[in-house]
Amino acid sequence: MITNSFGSDVLTSRALDIAATRIFAGIVDGVVLTDENRRIIYTNKATDQMFGYGEDGLIGLSTSTLYEDSNEFAVQGAKRFNPDGPAEHKTYITRYKRKDGTVFDGETTGGPIHEPDTGRVLYLGIVRDVTTRLSAESVLNELHRVTSDRSLDFEARRREILRLGCRHFGLPIGIVSNIDGDRYEVVDAIHPEDAIPAGATFALGETYCCHTLAADEPTGFHHAGRSEIRDHPCYQGFQLESYLGSPITVDGELYGTLNFSSPAPTRPFNRQDLELIGLFAQWLGHELAREADLQALQAAQLLLRRAATTDELTGLANRRLLGDRLQAERQRMNRYDGTFAVALVDFDHFKKLNDHYGHAAGDAALVEFAAIAKKLLRAVDTAGRWGGEEFLILLPNTALEGALTIAQRVANRVHANPLEVGGERIELSVSIGVAISDGNESVEAVIARADAALYNAKADGRNCVRYLSSDDTGNRTDKKEQRGQTTSP
Ligand SMILES: Nc1nc2c(ncn2[C@@H]2O[C@H](COP(=O)(O)OP(=O)(O)OP(=O)(O)O)[C@@H](O)[C@H]2O)c(=O)[nH]1
Residue 22 inside a domain? The answer is yes
Confidence label for 9 from pLDDT (cuts 50, 70 and 90): very low
Mutate to test the pocket of ligand 1, among 350, 353, 431, 463 (most ligand atoms within 8 A of CB): 350
| 362 lies in the same domain as 224 | no
Last residue of a domain, one of 111, 129, 147: 129
Pick the residue whose CA is nearest to atom 27 on ligand 1. Answer: 351
What is the pLDDT, as a whole number, of residue 20? 64
Quick check: 366 pLDDT over 70? yes
Distance 350 CA to ligand 1 centre (A): 5
Confidence label for 21 from pLDDT (cuts 50, 70 and 90): low
| 190 lies in the same domain as 91 | no
What is the pLDDT, as a whole number, of residue 12? 46
Contact present, 181 and 266 (Cβ < 8 Å): no
Residue 301 inside a domain? The answer is no
Residue 90 inside a domain? The answer is yes
Q: What is the 3-state secondary structure (H, E, C) of the chain?
A: CCCCCCCHHHHCCHHHHHHHHHHHCCCCCEEEEECCCCEEEEECHHHHHHHCCCCCCCCCCEHHHHECCHHHHHHHHHHCCCCCCCCCCEEEEEEEECCCCCEEEEEEEEEEEECCCCCCEEEEEEEEECHHHHHHHHHHHHHHHHHCCCCCCHHHHHHHHHHHHHHHHCCCEEEEEEEECCEEEEEEEECCCCCCCCCCEEEHHHCCHHHHHHHCCCEEECCHHHCCCCCCHHHHHHCCCEEEEEEEEECCEEEEEEEEEECCCCCCCCHHHHHHHHHHHHHHHHHHHHHHHHHHHHHHHHHHHHHHHECCCCCCECHHHHHHHHHHHHHHHHHHCCCCEEEEEEECCHHHHHHHHCHHHHHHHHHHHHHHHHHHCCCCCEEEEEECCEEEEEECCCCHHHHHHHHHHHHHHHHCCCEEECCEEECCCEEEEEEECCCCCCHHHHHHHHHHHHHHHHHCCCCCEEECCHHHHHHCCCHHHCCCEECCC
| 138 lies in the same domain as 287 | yes
Contact present, 81 and 110 (Cβ < 8 Å): yes
Between CA 90 and CA 122 the distance in angstroms is 16
Return the exposure string of 37-71: e unless at least 16 CB atoms fall within 10 Å of the residue's CB, then b: ebbbbbbbebbbbbbebeeeebbeeebeebbbeee
| 38 lies in the same domain as 184 | no
pLDDT tens-digit series, residues 275-305: 999 999 999 999 899 888 888 899 889 888 8
Residue type, 85: G
Between CA 420 and CA 440 the distance in angstroms is 45
In 3D space, the residue among 233, 224, 227 whose CA is nearest the CA of residue 205 turns out to be 233
- Closest approach atom of ligand 1 to CA 359: 1
Distance 413 CA to ligand 1 centre (A): 20
What is the pLDDT, as a whole number, of residue 4? 38
What is the pLDDT, as a whole number, of residue 477? 35
Pick the residue whose CA is nearest to atom 23 on ligand 1. Answer: 348
Pick the residue whose CA is nearest to atom 26 on ligand 1. Answer: 351
- CATH number of residue 225's parent domain: 3.30.450.40
- Closest approach atom of ligand 1 to CA 313: 31
pTM of the model: 0.57
Residue 282 inside a domain? The answer is yes
| 198 lies in the same domain as 252 | yes
| 380 lies in the same domain as 402 | yes
Tell me the percentage of the chain whose pLDDT exceeds 90: 74
Distance 347 CA to ligand 1 centre (A): 7
Pick the residue whose CA is nearest to atom 13 on ligand 1. Answer: 351
Determine if residue 437 is left, alpha or beta; phi over 0 gives left, psi from -120 to 50 gives alpha, anything else beta.
beta
316: Cβ contacts below 8 Å, ≥ 6 apart: 310, 370, 373, 374, 383, 384, 385, 391
| 21 lies in the same domain as 68 | yes
Residue 305 inside a domain? The answer is no
| 141 lies in the same domain as 118 | no
Residue 289 inside a domain? The answer is yes
Q: Which domain holds residue 100?
A: 8-129
Q: Which residues are catalytically annotated?
A: 389
Distance 387 CA to ligand 1 centre (A): 10
Quick check: 189 pLDDT over 90? yes
| Ligand 1 environment, Cβ below 6 A | 313, 346-351, 354, 359, 362-363, 366, 388-389, 458, 462
Average of per-residue pLDDT values in the chain: 90
pLDDT tens-digit series, residues 298-350: 988 988 888 889 999 999 999 999 999 999 999 988 888 788 999 999 999 99
| 34 lies in the same domain as 96 | yes
Last residue of a domain, one of 129, 161, 183: 129
| 346 lies in the same domain as 428 | yes
- CATH number of residue 22's parent domain: 3.30.450.20
In 3D space, the residue among 6, 4, 13, 3 whose CA is nearest the CA of residue 113 turns out to be 13
Residue 314 inside a domain? The answer is no
Pick the residue whose CA is nearest to atom 16 on ligand 1. Answer: 351
In 3D space, the residue among 435, 437, 443, 430 whose CA is nearest the CA of residue 484 turns out to be 435
Residue 120 inside a domain? The answer is yes
Pick the residue whose CA is nearest to atom 3 on ligand 1. Answer: 362
- CATH number of residue 380's parent domain: 3.30.70.270
- Closest approach atom of ligand 1 to CA 347: 20
| 123 lies in the same domain as 246 | no
| Number of domains forming the structure of the chain | 3
Confidence label for 457 from pLDDT (cuts 50, 70 and 90): very high
- Closest approach atom of ligand 1 to CA 352: 19
| 329 lies in the same domain as 384 | yes
Distance 203 CA to ligand 1 centre (A): 61
Confidence label for 18 from pLDDT (cuts 50, 70 and 90): low
Quick check: 476 pLDDT over 50? no
What is the pLDDT, as a whole number, of residue 14? 62
Per DSSP bridges, beta strands 430-436 and 341-347 are antiparallel
What is the pLDDT, as a whole number, of residue 194? 93
Distance 353 CA to ligand 1 centre (A): 8
Distance 465 CA to ligand 1 centre (A): 19
Q: What is the ipTM of this complex?
A: 0.95
Pick the residue whose CA is nearest to atom 32 on ligand 1. Answer: 363
Last residue of a domain, one of 241, 263, 295: 295
What is the pLDDT, as a whole number, of residue 488? 38
- Closest approach atom of ligand 1 to CA 362: 1
Instruction: Give the mean pLDDT of 52-74.
Output: 95
